[in-house]
Amino acid sequence: MFWKVVARAVEFRKKRLLLAFSALAVAATLATALFSIYSDIERKMRVEFRGYGANIVIAPGVGAQTVPLAAVAEAERQGAVAAPFVYTVGHLDGQPVVVAGTDFRRSGPLTDYWHVEGTRAAGFGECLVGSTVAAHFRLKLGQQVEVVGAPCVIRGIVTSGGSEDAQVILPLAAAEQLAGLHDAASIVEVRADGERVIALRAALAKALPGADVRLLHAVADTEANVVLKIRGTLFLLTALILAITTLCVTGNFSALVLERSREIGILKAIGAADGKIAALFLSESLILGLASAVTGYGLGLLVAWGIGRQIFPGSAAAGIPGGVGVNYSVFLPVAGVTLAVAAGATLAAAARIWRIKTAVILRGE
């Protein structure tokens, strides 16, 4: 009997309920989408900052000229990306030129910002040259350059706007030989995950007492700053929208009950207990609330997924669990809030009707 009444009430007011349902579902969609996006925006933004390359450098300590290659292994053991760089002065066509050496396999992720014509890595007997060097000596891709002690074939021409432009970049072993170094680098660049960069610097400094482990403030601090601000903005906007949506949902449910004051009056007049009427209206509201929460949850995840895929296509590739912006755990808060608001608003509105005398309601005032 009870459920029959509920079912008939829904059926009779189909159109009105459909509208209320869509308004609520839209609110739940927005809440789900924003929650999802907010919950992993920090990780996503930090991935975007990887392109800036190193955020820690390991330089020779006081009294030292080089950094042992063990520093690279140590940084990798701590879970960071690290690459050694060697710098020395070589000779080409009787002129001095800066020769750099690096382990291309390791330095690749740290030098994403190099604009390279050709390949980004050079093997044995090969090299990359900076664009200024290429222009100065009129060098072309595939050409042999007679760097004294390390002749090589040009595989790529690098433009970075930085010191690389004026360098010949060789594989590490060749540059080490030229510089007379063994198992040592001039500098080691390290890229640590943004949120761990401070801790990692401290750990490296402790593990490598002979070296000068420095935080690159421009990169590390700006990243922290921007990520914090974006997260803050999204947080405030999410909170704002949730608050406004909650108000809207509350109003919607109150209206649903208030419109039916006449019905409540009749139910009371034919002897229905207050508790029974409350249960009737509450179950209606909860069904509506649950239906819109589920729908909104589904749609919201879809929206978050769409936004994530559109804006952060790299995150899925970078191995971030959950792929692109979908966070399944937001269902409970969204459903909880929707149901709580539905129940609260219904009861509050119903309570207002109870206080009025039946006869007054039925007279239509």
Partner 1 sequence: MFLRFVSESIRRAPRRKAMTVAAVAMGSAVATAMLGVMLDIGDRVNRELRGLGANLMVTAKAGSLPVEIGGISYRPVSREDYIPEAQLPKIKSTFWQLNITGFAPSLKAEAVLGGRQVPVEGVWFLRRLRGPDGAMLEAGLRTINTAWKVDGHWVDDRERNDAALEAMLGGALARRLGVRPGDTVQLYGRPFTVRGILSTGGEEEDRIFVRLEVLQRLVSRPGQVDAVQVGALTKPEDDFARKDPARMTPAEFERWNCTPYISSIAHQIEAALPMAVAKPIWRVADNEGKVLGKIRGLMLLVALAALASAGLTVWSVMATTVIERGTEIAIMQATGASNWMVTALFSAEVAIEGAAGGLIGSWAGLLLAEWVGRSVFQTSLEIPAMLGPLVVAAAVIASVAGAAQPLRQALALDPAIMLRGGQA
Site for partner 1 in 140-159 (CB under 8 A): 159
Whole-angstrom CA distances from 309 to 189, 296, 312 are 31, 19, 6
Cβ proximity to partner 1, 241 vs 318, nearer residue: 241
Q: Does 188 bind partner 1 (CB under 8 A)?
A: no
Q: Which of 177, 222, 283, 358 binds partner 1 (CB under 8 A)?
A: 222
Cβ proximity to partner 1, 29 vs 285, nearer residue: 29
Interface of this chain with partner 1, residues 268 to 307, rule: CB under 8 A: 303, 306-307
Cβ proximity to partner 1, 30 vs 169, nearer residue: 30
Q: Distance between CA 66 and CA 16 in Å, rounded?
A: 77
Question: Which residue stretch of 69-77, 232-240, 287-295, 347-355 sits at the interface with partner 1 (rule: CB under 8 A)?
Answer: 232-240
Residues in contact with partner 1, counted by CB under 8 A, come to a total of: 82
Angle between helices 274-311 and 217-258 in degrees, nearest 10: 150
CA neighbours closer than 13 Å in the CB half-sphere of residue 96: 4
Q: Does 10 bind partner 1 (CB under 8 A)?
A: no
> Which residues lie closer than 8 Å to 121 by C-beta, 6 or more apart?
104, 105, 108, 155, 156
Question: Which residue stretch of 119-127, 210-218, 262-270, 328-336 sits at the interface with partner 1 (rule: CB under 8 A)?
Answer: 210-218
Q: Which of 4, 94, 95, 182 binds partner 1 (CB under 8 A)?
A: 95
Cα Rg, the chain, nearest whole Å:
33
Residue 23 DSSP class: H
Q: Distance between CA 284 and CA 10 in Å, rounded?
A: 8
Q: Does 184 bind partner 1 (CB under 8 A)?
A: no
At closest approach, how far in Å is the CB of 327 from partner 1?
A: 15
Mark residues 323-342: x for contact with partner 1 by CB under 8 A, - for none.
--------------------
The residue among 362, 355, 353, 363 whose CA lies nearest residue 258 is 353
Question: Which residue stretch of 93-101, 169-177, 265-273, 345-353 sits at the interface with partner 1 (rule: CB under 8 A)?
Answer: 93-101
Q: Distance between CA 225 and CA 227 in Å, rounded?
A: 6
At closest approach, how far in Å is the CB of 186 from partner 1?
A: 8
Whether the Cβ atoms of residue 194 and residue 176 lie closer than 8 Å to each other = no
Question: Which residue stretch of 27-35, 73-81, 138-146, 343-351 sits at the interface with partner 1 (rule: CB under 8 A)?
Answer: 27-35
Cα angle 10, 14, 15; round to 5? 150
What is the bridge-based pairing of β-strands 152-159 and 115-118?
antiparallel
Mark residues 109-128: x for contact with partner 1 by CB under 8 A, - for none.
----xxx-------------
Cβ proximity to partner 1, 228 vs 273, nearer residue: 228
